[in-house]
């Protein structure tokens, strides 16, 4: 999906890209739900307004991330997206009242150092050189990561009362409608290559959502989450052979720091989850 969007580049505005990514993604999702016999109840919700806010913030995060993908070398854009789990820890402490102890705060601090290492060579704003757009790419990608962190907080609240297919469908629907509203602001006529790339981004995005959702049926989040970091391998390979992006040493070092911090947080969450389950089991009448 990311490769298709990177290949589209600046041939289509972000709003148009988000529309195709979101609307086309509904096709494999709806087919999947129909095959599982869940289509007739997938749109039932008691929290329509919450889905709207999730969609509004989510589509903003998606659009900014797509801009960052176009402006930055592919590995850098993917690596900076890894800041999201770090930001989620901070937001969970602020908005969910979660208790974050020194271990996770330390991991967040170390991870943010890694983000700075990745970003430093791109932040040309200090010498006034914005021509290559990479400084802007860093900024929009990090803002996207912050917004994605807020989305994760909203989803964690929705998941308490809403089913996963409902959350996925309403996001794709709201993202399609919100991005369609950008039509008067500069959509362009698409050549066939660009059109097929945008359609492919939606198909791959929808299939990716299905596979990720399905994976949670077979393993815990702490088991699945570290696999997200393997995307940097694909980004480096695709970036080099398709776009001529040669990874900088600072990117590799910074990514290693961010990934290490992220995995530490995931493992810490897993351990705390086990401790909480054991504590609840101990305090049950039959425990």
Q: Give the model confidence (pLDDT) of 45-99 as tens digits.
A: 888 888 889 899 999 999 999 999 999 999 999 999 888 888 888 888 888 787 7
Decide if 116 contacts 253 (C-beta within 8 A): no
In Å, what is the CA distance from 15 to each residue of 19, 85, 243?
Answer: 6, 26, 23
H/E stretch holding 18 reads helix 14-35
Specify the pTM: 0.84
Six token digits for residue 240:
């080099």
CA 174 – CA 179 distance, rounded (Å): 8
**Is pLDDT larger for residue 165 or for residue 283?**
165
User: How far apart are the C-alpha atoms of 1 and 19, rounded to whole Å?
Assistant: 14
Segments making up each domain of the chain, as ranges? 2-283
pLDDT at 142 over 90: yes
Burial of 112 (0-12, 13-18, 19+ CB in 10 A): middle
Asked if 2 contacts 69 with a C-beta cutoff of 8 angstroms, the reply is yes
Calculate what percentage of the chain has a pLDDT beyond 70: 88
* pLDDT tens, position by position, 6-58: 999 989 999 999 999 999 999 998 998 888 888 888 888 888 888 889 899 99
Q: What is the pLDDT of residue 284?
A: 58
Which pLDDT score is estimated for 274? 65
Q: pLDDT-based confidence at 3, cuts 50/70/90?
A: very high
pLDDT at 162: 83
Flag whether pLDDT at 159 surpasses 70. Answer: yes
Give the pLDDT score at 47: 84
């Amino acid at each position: 999906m990311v490769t298709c969007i990177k290949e589209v580049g600046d041939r289509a505005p972000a709003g148009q890209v988000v529309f195709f990514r979101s609307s086309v993604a509904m096709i494999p999702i709806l087919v999947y739900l129909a095959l599982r016999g869940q289509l007739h109840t997938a749109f039932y919700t008691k929290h329509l307004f919450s889905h709207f806010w999730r969609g509004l913030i989510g589509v903003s995060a998606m659009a900014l991330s797509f801009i960052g993908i176009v402006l930055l070398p592919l590995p850098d854009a993917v690596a900076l997206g890894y800041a999201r789990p770090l930001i989620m820890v901070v937001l969970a402490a602020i908005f969910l009242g979660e208790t974050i102890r020194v271990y996770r705060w330390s991991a967040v601090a170390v991870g943010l150092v890694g983000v700075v290492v990745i970003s430093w060579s791109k932040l040309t704003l200090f010498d006034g050189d914005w021509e290559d757009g990479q400084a802007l790419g860093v900024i929009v990608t990090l803002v996207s990561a912050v917004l994605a962190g807020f989305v994760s907080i909203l989803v964690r609240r929705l998941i308490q009362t809403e089913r996963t297919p409902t959350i996925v469908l309403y996001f794709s629907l709201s993202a399609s409608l919100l991005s369609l509203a950008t039509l008067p602001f500069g959509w362009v006529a698409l050549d066939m290559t660009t059109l097929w790339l945008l359609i492919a981004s939606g198909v791959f995005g929808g299939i990716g959502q299905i596979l990720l959702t399905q994976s949670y049926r077979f393993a815990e989040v702490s088991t699945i989450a570290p696999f997200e970091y393997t995307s940097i391998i694909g980004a480096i390979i695709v970036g080099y052979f398709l776009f001529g992006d040669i990874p900088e040493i600072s990117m590799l070092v910074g990514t290693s720091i961010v990934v290490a911090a992220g995995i530490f947080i995931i493992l810490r969450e897993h351990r705390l989850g086990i401790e909480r389950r054991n504590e609840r089991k101990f305090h049950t009448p039959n425990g």
